[in-house]
Amino acid sequence: MNTQLLDIHPEVAFALQNNQAVVALESTIISHGMPYPQNVETAMAVEAQVRANGAIPATIAIVKGRLKAGLSAEEINYLGKEGKNVTKVSRRDMAFIVATGQSGATTVASTMIIAAMAGIKVFATGGIGGVHRGAESNFDISADLQELAQTNVAVVCAGAKSILDLALTLEYLETYGVPVVGYQTAELPAFFTRESGFAVNYQLDTAQSIASVMRHKWAMGLKGGLVVANPIPHEFAMPKAQIDAAIEQALQQAVEQGIKGKESTPFLLAKVVELTGGNSLKSNIALVMNNAKLAAEIANEYVLKPM
């Protein structure tokens, strides 16, 4: 692995060298998740949440051809202002964006790759990608799932995005040996809602127990990450019927407009925001903040007893 292509922010590098807790954060939410300046304000608030819970934030991106583990305020503002002019980057795109000196907003998959290169073991995001509805005919499956199967990073999320086929997503993760852990819940949360009707593999109720599983999994040479499913706080959860109706309408519009591939998730989420009168965006921000808090707690526990 050539780490000469990687810039680790000095604060992040110092924390890693001194066995301090670090939490990776993705950048797709900045460039593709919401409008400017709300995107920048949210990114800075999430970083502040990580700090408030005793860890160092490392927002991940590609900036002008350089892999970045930790961004300056100026770089976060740049990604926010550029918005969708910045390429949404998954594993397949990384070499092309770096080789041509472009900037890229990292998805779950590419954030995991860069975090692993830097030595960061815990990553907080909103929701993971997964198997899209209709995948039995269009084979639309997020690269996030394959990355979880091979990259040693724990991903703290509010479950898989509710626009997905959750049953097939869980089946795919099981096939590739990726454990799905429910934090203080036996049921997989579905991003905007706390319930999905599907069980997680294991319920763990403390950050300490999650960190212990991480240490033991990787000590045994078992490749891949794990999904830590953290339900959205009760007060921000949306009624399941309302979200389901908005998703069905958004899916229909995506089909009508020929939206496919990596453009489908941002399109569907934006459409759900529109159809819910902005309520889903408030929920989205709240769940990311909640995940950042738990991720910081897990990162702190993980560095306490390195194996």
Show which residues are catalytic.
26, 161
Taking residue 96's Cβ as centre, other Cβ atoms within 10 Å add up to: 12
- Contact indicator for 209, 178 with CB cutoff of 8 Å: no
Nearest 5°: the CA angle 143, 191, 22 is 70
Neighbours of 67 (CB within 10 A): 25
274: alpha, beta or left? (left if phi > 0; alpha if psi -120 to 50):
alpha
- The pairing of strands 6-8 and 104-106 is unpaired
Helix ranges restricted to H, 163-239:
166-175, 207-219
Measured distance CA(51)–CA(55) in Å, rounded: 5
Does residue 142 contact residue 129 with C-beta atoms inside 8 Å?
A: yes
Between strands 56-63 and 104-106, the pairing is antiparallel
